[in-house]
Amino acid sequence: MSLSQRDNPRDSFFLIATLVGWLLWITSVSPLRIYTIRISPYAYWISGVAPNFFAGSTFAFFQAYTMKSRPLASVTYAASLVTAAELIQLYIPRYTFDVWDLVAGITRVVIVLLILLWREYRRQ
């Protein structure tokens, strides 16, 4: 183990996963929607929930990397943000609460929990 790894024991996998999740999240907001609407009858639904799906993982991996949080704390934080973002839409004009957005975000957070637990197990 190099000196820099001992001084900064952050898992670089979490940083990479955060960046990839963020890129997928941003891409799924607009460019991906334009493409998927042309290729599938279910594309509107898929492209509608995709941003929340990727947002959940981005939040969880970001929390795990920056705060060095335990897996459950990271996913609790991410699930709270995804839920709050969806609930706020009840009060914002021209936005609508969609339970499928919430389900997509929470589903991704659960997947990330499994990944974080696996990474923690491998570190021990």
Whether 1 shows a pLDDT value over 60: the answer reads no
- Residues 68-76, mean pLDDT to the nearest whole number: 90
Cβ atoms of 114 and 72 closer than 8 Å: no
Q: Note if the pTM is more than 0.85.
A: no
Full residue range of the structural domain in which residue 27 is found = 3-123
Q: Give the H or E element holding residue 118.
A: helix 99-123
Per-residue model confidence (pLDDT) at position 108: 92
Distance CA 113, CA 78 (A): 10
Cβ atoms of 60 and 73 closer than 8 Å: no
> Of all residues in the chain, what percent carry a pLDDT higher than 70?
86
Tally the domains of the chain. Answer: 1
Distance CA 104, CA 56 (A): 8
Whether 30 shows a pLDDT value over 90: the answer reads no
